[in-house]
Amino acid sequence: MEREAVLVGIDVGTSKVCTLIGEVSRDGRMTIMGHGTVPSSGLKKGVVVNIDQTVRSIAESVERAERLSGWKIDRAFVSVGGQHVESLNSPGQVAVSGPRKEVTREDVNRAVEVARAVSIPSSQVVLHVERRGFKVDGQEGVKDPLGMSALRLEVEVHIVSAAATAVQNLSKCVNAAGVKIDELVASALASSDSVLTDTEKELGVAVADLGAGTIDLSMFVDGSPFRTAVLPIGGNNVTNDLALGLKTSLQVAEELKISHGTCNLAAVDDEEEITITVLGEDAGRTIRRREACEIIEARMRETFELLREEMSRGGPGMMPAGIILTGGAAQLAGTAELGREVLGMPVRIAAPTGIGGLVDTLLNPSYSTAVGLLLWGAGAIDGDEPMRYESAPAMGSLGRIRDALRSIFP
C-alpha cells in the first residue's frame, strides 16, 4: 500500500475526547493506526468551560494515540460542537468573464465570494462555505460548471458559523496540548461523512449525532447539506432524570441506563425488578425496571419532539431517506422504534464505515465524529472534488495542508 498521508482527527466532546490517527493510501483507503479515548472534563454541552481540564483531556488522548501508533502528532482536524453552531444558505451570481464565455475556476470562485459576502454577526466566525449547487444561465442542478458555455453563473452556498469566543477557547486548548489545527470541522458535518451514503444525500436525509451533552443535526438534500444545527440536549439529560427520579447518583443512573434501560416500554415486563444503590443508604434498593424505563422513555420522547421541531424549520417533507441516528446516546435500546413513532419517518442507527486497521472498538456509533474527521481530511487532500467544503481562511487553507502533506509524502 502506497501511503498518501497520515491524518489525525480529535473529537472534543462533552463526555469523551477521542484522537484517531489514520493512514490514507494512494487509492483513498483509510487505515486506523492509533486511537486514544479518555473521559473529557472541562466541557459542558460541547463548549469549553475549563481550559486546564480540557487541555489535560486532549493531551492524554493524544498521548494514548501516539503510544499505540508510534507516530508523533503535531497537527489535527478538530471537531467543533455546541449550540452556538449555526448555518444559513446564501446565493451569489456573476457574469461569466473571458472572451470564450466558458466557466473557469476563477468565475466559480468569484460567485462563491459574492455568495459568502452575507452579513454574519461579528460574534460569529465562518467555519465552512459549502457549495450546494450551481445554475448556468438559469439551468438548475449543475454540480460542476467548469468548462460550460454560459453568460451568467449562479451558486448557492451553505455557510456554517460558530461563536468566535467558543472557537478561540477550543483552539487555545488544542494548541496548549501541543497540536496545531489543520481545520476546525462542525461535528454534525464530520459525523455525516462517516455514516451517510451518496444515495441518501441525494435523496434527502438527516443525520442526528446523539451525544452526551448535545445533538448535532445536519440535513442533506440533492447531495449537499442545507441545514446544520446543534440542540443543547443529549444522553446526560436522561441520566440526570434517572438520578433525580430514583434518588441515586449520576454514576449509578448511567450504569442503570446502559445495562437495563430501553425506550421501548412494550418490551419491559411489569413484574421485573432490579437492585440499585441509593444515596445515603448502605443497602441497595429494589425497584421495578419499568419505573426506570418510563423515565427514560419520557425524556427520549421529548428529545425526539425537539428534534422534529428543529427539522421542520429546515423545510418539511424533504427527507425521503429519513433520519440516521448515530453517537453514543443512539445506542440506548428501543431508540430507533421510538424515533419512528415520534418523527413519522424511516429511522436507522448507524456506526462509522469506510475504515480499516485497528477498528474493533471504533465501529460503534459513538466514534462517528472522530472517524468522520479523518474522512473529511482525506477529502481535503483529494482536493479534486469540486463540491468539497472550503475552510474558513482563519482556520488554514486546505491547499496549504495539501502541499504540506505532499512534501512529507511525495
For the record, the C-alpha cell of 374 comes out as 479523518
Model confidence pLDDT, tens digit, residues 87-135 = 999 999 999 988 888 999 999 999 999 999 998 899 999 999 999 999 9
Is residue 10 assigned to a domain? no
Q: Does residue 262 belong to any structural domain of this protein?
A: no
Domain assignment present for residue 139? The answer is: yes
Predicted confidence (pLDDT) at residue 403 exceeds the cutoff of 50: no
The predicted pLDDT at position 317 comes to 60
Spell out where 269-410 has E strands.
Answer: 273-276, 285-288, 323-326, 347-349, 355-357, 390-391
Pick left, alpha or beta for residue 82 (phi over 0 → left; psi -120 to 50 → alpha; otherwise beta): left
What CATH number should be reported for the domain holding residue 119? Answer: 3.30.1490.110
**Could you tell me how far CA 407 lies from the centroid of its own chain?**
29
Look at the pTM and tell me if it is higher than 0.75. Answer: yes
In a domain? residue 113 = yes
Note whether residue 153 is domain-resident.
yes
Range of weakest confidence among 123-127, 338-342, 359-363, 403-407: 403-407
Cβ-contact 380, 373 below 8 angstroms: no
Whether 146 maps to a domain, the answer reads yes
Which residue range(s) make up the domain with 156? Answer: 86-163
Task: Output the CA angle 369-373-375, nearest 5 degrees.
Answer: 115
pLDDT single digits (tens) 25-36: 888 788 999 999
Flag whether pLDDT at 385 surpasses 50.
no
Contact criterion met (CB below 8 Å) for 176 and 51:
yes
> Measured between alpha carbons, how far is 93 from 107 in angstroms, rounded to an integer?
10
pLDDT value at position 341? Answer: 95
**Residue 300 pLDDT > 80:** yes
Strand partners, 125: 162
Number of domains in the chain: 1
pLDDT, residue 99, reads 85
Residue 157 domain-assigned?
yes
